[in-house]
Chains A and B, each alone.
Chain A
């Protein structure tokens, strides 16, 4: 290896360490026995996990976030898959131009989105409600599903659908029997992305959630702004563990995609 290559690889290793270490440092902090954030912790304990799991308020916020995450991811996946299917098949230019509209939630700065949703919800009385939170996260999750499913559909040969329909299956059954099994990995990855984006969403829920229906992220944000409570470290560790498991699932899912493509070609 030439010296310049060694230098380059060394630089990359440093950057990767810089990316990973802040995420990992939370783990030991969450087992600290001290109230203040010293590293390494002076003593070890599970008290911050107890203070999280034993708190009714934190548990309620966690429940709200999980319900919002699951419901909005499922709805966004159904709406998004239908939309991607239409965008992929259509010949009409008008319909295709609507694609940019579906990506809009990724482009608009999140604070503006939050203010806008707040305006609408204040009119129709959806502030501080479960329905409001789910709908807002469906909107935010749609671009991930549409993008991911579109990529999957591009690799799918639409003549297979025509064959199935010419053999007498209707459109609906053709989709579930022929198309969906082949694009399943991209639908699943869209679902995972929508779920993660809903669980992680903070700014919109700062504006629209409240009372009984406060999300975990809103509660964490206010806790972080007001005082640094080590309970956050235990929640963060749990959240990171969940993300890690989901990332592994996504990686397995991607490997299946490669395999099913290998079979098709």
Chain B
């Protein structure tokens, strides 16, 4: 008879928890069935083949240069893209956060418009701009600055330009949100105490904007690690990123074991980046849910 002696508030709490789980169930079900289970399945496939365990798919990371070259190029591109989005994104967020409201809305709209435009549309736009007889090349040759058209696309350069263009909003938005919360009195106090504008910026403003900066860098870096459309369309076969390695192994070679092991390693890289970043700022902060 222990059940009936339970106090009503405890019973209520258990009912409450059951209701909450019920409300969460549809969303969780979709994500578990379509994402979590397939990830576990991929992990299993990478070590289990023809009825026995094998590490052959992981050994290829040591022996096959295509593998580690793809990872190397992916990490290099991710680092370049992250660095350049900081250089381009920080000033934009800084000016937007300090401007009168009407101007900051205008700036944010200009940042958001490409954000809301299809990734394919933007990849196409960069193809038009950068190709051999494209707008930039004809402007440069027409003005006599160069004699022969430059190779701007179908290489790493084109991929990096288009990737930055697509990911810049992911840097600007968290930076702007953080900078907006920095009280103006703090920088004024710094200036009134005799700090030069540069000094005040470096000692007061920059440290306070660091959480936004880290959040933006993590998002951009991780998203670049998994980028597929821009290297495929603008890389011209010269840019071989990990995501392409995965899709080639399935579409061209039908090598599920290889594709699985590459996916697992890429997933581990992504989790490590988040883990490292969460030592500095909370995970919710990166994802913008707090």
Chain A residues close to B by CB (< 8 Å): 2, 4, 8-9, 11-12, 15-16, 18-20, 22-23, 25-26, 29, 36-39, 78-80, 82-83, 85-87, 89-92, 95, 98-120, 135-136, 138-139, 142, 146-147, 150-151, 171, 196, 199-200, 202-203, 207, 217, 220-221, 224-225, 228, 232-233, 236, 239-240, 243-244, 246-247, 251
Instruction: Give the 5 A-B CB pairs with smallest separation, nearest first.
Output: A109-B226, A116-B38, A22-B125, A83-B27, A86-B23
Tell me if B95 and A9 are in contact (CB < 8 A).
yes
Contact with A along B118-148 (1 / 0, CB 8 A): 1111111111110101110010000000000
Tell me if B127 and A26 are in contact (CB < 8 A).
no
A247 to chain B: closest residue by CB: B116
Which A residues lie within 8 Å of B13 (CB)? 91
Tell me if B31 and A225 are in contact (CB < 8 A).
no
Tell me if B113 and A109 are in contact (CB < 8 A).
no
Interface stretch, picked from B50-58, B60-68, B204-212, B262-270, is B262-270
A251 to chain B: closest residue by CB: B109
B108 to chain A: closest residue by CB: A251
Which B residues lie within 8 Å of A221 (CB)? 120, 229, 233
With known contacts A8-B91, A98-B24, A25–B125 Cβ distance under 8 A: yes
Measured between C-beta atoms, what is the minimum distance from B212 to chain A in Å? 16
Tell me if B125 and A98 are in contact (CB < 8 A).
no
Which A residues lie within 8 Å of B133 (CB)? 36-38
With known contacts A103-B287, A112-B266, A243-B113, A98–B118 Cβ distance under 8 A: no
Q: How far is B125's CA from A224's CA once the two chains are assembled, in angstroms?
A: 11
Q: How far is B41's CA from A217's CA once the two chains are assembled, in angstroms?
A: 28
Q: How far is B247's CA from A221's CA once the two chains are assembled, in angstroms?
A: 15
Tell me if B27 and A102 are in contact (CB < 8 A).
yes
Q: How far is B42's CA from A26's CA once the two chains are assembled, in angstroms?
A: 40
Q: How far is B109's CA from A251's CA once the two chains are assembled, in angstroms?
A: 9
Measured between C-beta atoms, what is the minimum distance from B111 to chain A in Å? 7
Tell me if A100 and B283 are in contact (CB < 8 A).
yes
- From A8, A108, A150, A233, give the contact of B39 (CB < 8 A): A108
Measured between C-beta atoms, what is the minimum distance from B228 to chain A in Å? 5
Tell me if B127 and A224 are in contact (CB < 8 A).
yes
Most buried by B among A38, A79, A111: A111
Contact with A along B277-290 (1 / 0, CB 8 A): 00000010001110
**B194 beta carbon closer than 8 Å to chain A:** no
Which A residues lie within 8 Å of B259 (CB)? 115
Measured between C-beta atoms, what is the minimum distance from A42 to chain B in Å? 13
Measured between C-beta atoms, what is the minimum distance from A88 to chain B in Å? 10
Tell me if A83 and B24 are in contact (CB < 8 A).
yes
**B70 beta carbon closer than 8 Å to chain A:** no
Which A residues lie within 8 Å of B267 (CB)? 108-109, 112
Tell me if A85 and B91 are in contact (CB < 8 A).
no
Which A residues lie within 8 Å of B188 (CB)? none
Most buried by B among A78, A109, A116, A120: A109
Measured between C-beta atoms, what is the minimum distance from A171 to chain B in Å? 8
Contact with A along B81-108 (1 / 0, CB 8 A): 0000000100110110000000001010
Tell me if B28 and A151 are in contact (CB < 8 A).
no
**B232 beta carbon closer than 8 Å to chain A:** yes
Q: How far is B20's CA from A202's CA once the two chains are assembled, in angstroms?
A: 34
Which B residues lie within 8 Å of A104 (CB)? 31, 35-36
Tell me if A225 and B232 are in contact (CB < 8 A).
yes
Tell me if B38 and A117 are in contact (CB < 8 A).
yes
Question: 6 more A-B contacts (CB under 8 A) besides A101-B28, A114-B247, A116-B34?
Answer: A12-B92, A12-B95, A26-B125, A115-B38, A228-B128, A244-B113
Contact with A along B162-179 (1 / 0, CB 8 A): 000100100000000000
Q: How far is B107's CA from A114's CA once the two chains are assembled, in angstroms?
A: 34
Q: How far is B113's CA from A117's CA once the two chains are assembled, in angstroms?
A: 30
Tell me if B266 and A109 are in contact (CB < 8 A).
yes
Which B residues lie within 8 Å of A113 (CB)? 35
Tell me if B20 and A20 are in contact (CB < 8 A).
no
**B152 beta carbon closer than 8 Å to chain A:** no
Which B residues lie within 8 Å of A100 (CB)? 283
B34 to chain A: closest residue by CB: A139
Tell me if A87 and B36 are in contact (CB < 8 A).
no
Tell me if A243 and B118 are in contact (CB < 8 A).
yes
Which B residues lie within 8 Å of A171 (CB)? 19
**B150 beta carbon closer than 8 Å to chain A:** no
